[in-house]
Amino acid sequence: MGTRKQTHAIASLIKAGVVAMSPVMWGGMVAAQENINIANGGNLLVDTFGTCKIVTNNTGHALYVPVYSAGEWTGTSGFIQKHGANITVSDCAGCSSQTVNWSPGCSGTAGALSHGGSTSVTNTAGGHTGSVSVSCYNGTLNQSSPSCVQSGVQVGGYWWYLGADGQSCTTVCSTHSGYNAATVSYAGSGGTLANCHNVSVALGKPGTGTDWGSCAAGFGCIYMYAPPYFDESDRCPTPATTADASNAGVMRFCACNN
C-alpha cells in the first residue's frame, strides 16, 4: 500500500477510535505533518498552513487531526469544516492593546495584534529611551530584544535632558513627548541660576557658572564646554528663553513632557 493510501487508511481507523497516533510539535505549535493525536478531554493549538485553531476533543477517544496538506486542514472537506460531533475548533486568540513594561524605567503601548502578529514598542516613560519587540501567541504577548537606557533626570517635578551641541529644545524633546515650558519658568529666563545649577548637577555637569547679562538668543540654562567658558553651566536671563533657540558651541538643558 502506498504511503498516502496507508495514511488515509490509518486515519479512518483513528477516527473510528481504533488506532491512536502521536503528535510532533515544535515550540508549542503543530507543524505541517501527517498526524496529530489529541487525547480525549484534551486540546491542542494547531498553527499550520496559515491558519491557527485550538482543537478540543470530547469524543470519548483519541482524536486524529490530519494536517498533511492544506486541503486536509483548511479545505472545504478538511478537518476544520468537517470535524464532526463533540469536537470544538476555535480561533487562536489575539492580543488586546495593552501597556508593556520592560527593564527598570521603560514602558509603552502595544496596539492590538492577531495571533502570530508582532510589532516594536517605543518607550514613552520619562527619563529613558529604548524599545522592545513584542509578538502575540494565542492571547499572550511575548517580549524580546529589550533596550532601555536612562537619558534624563527629574528635577523640580520635570524631566530634563542635555541637548547635543547646537540642538534646540524642540529637537531634544521631539523624542520625549514634546517641549515643556519649565525650560523657561524653572531654569531659564523665568527661573533662577540656582535651579539651572540643580539641573546641571543632576545631569552630571558642573554646578558652577553665572547669569549672563544677555545672550545671542533665548537659550535659557546652558552648558558651555569650550573656552573661554570651559566646563560651566550658565543662564541667559535675556532674551526670553524659547524652544527653538540654538547655536554652535551651546548645549541646552531642556525640560520635556516625559
Closest to 246 measured CA to CA, from 224, 226, 216: 216
pLDDT value at residue 232: 92
pLDDT value at residue 151: 85
CB contact at 8 A, 209 and 232: yes
Distance CA 142, CA 231 (A): 45
Is the pLDDT higher at 13 or at 135?
135
Which helix (H) or strand (E) is 88 found in, with range? strand 87-91
Distance CA 190, CA 255 (A): 13
Strand partners, 122: 131
pLDDT value at residue 26: 30
Distance CA 127, CA 177 (A): 11
pLDDT tens, residue by residue, 47-99: 999 999 999 999 999 999 999 899 999 999 999 999 999 999 999 999 999 99
CB contact at 8 A, 109 and 101: no
Distance CA 124, CA 191 (A): 27
pLDDT tens, residue by residue, 191-222: 999 999 999 999 999 889 999 989 999 999 99
pLDDT value at residue 33: 53
- Which cell numbers in the block locate residue 163? 541637548
Q: Is the pLDDT of residue 253 over 70?
A: yes
Q: Going by C-beta distance under 8 Å and a sequence separation of 6 or more, which residues neighbour residue 27?
A: none
Distance CA 243, CA 258 (A): 16
pLDDT tens, residue by residue, 157-189: 999 999 999 999 999 999 899 999 999 999 999
pLDDT tens, residue by residue, 88-143: 999 999 999 999 999 888 999 999 999 999 999 999 888 888 999 999 999 999 99
Which helix (H) or strand (E) is 122 found in, with range? strand 118-122
pLDDT value at residue 32: 46
In 3-state terms, what secondary structure has residue 55?
strand
Distance CA 212, CA 49 (A): 70
Which helix (H) or strand (E) is 258 found in, with range? none
Closest to 60 measured CA to CA, from 82, 80, 85, 36: 85
Closest to 190 measured CA to CA, from 202, 180, 203: 180
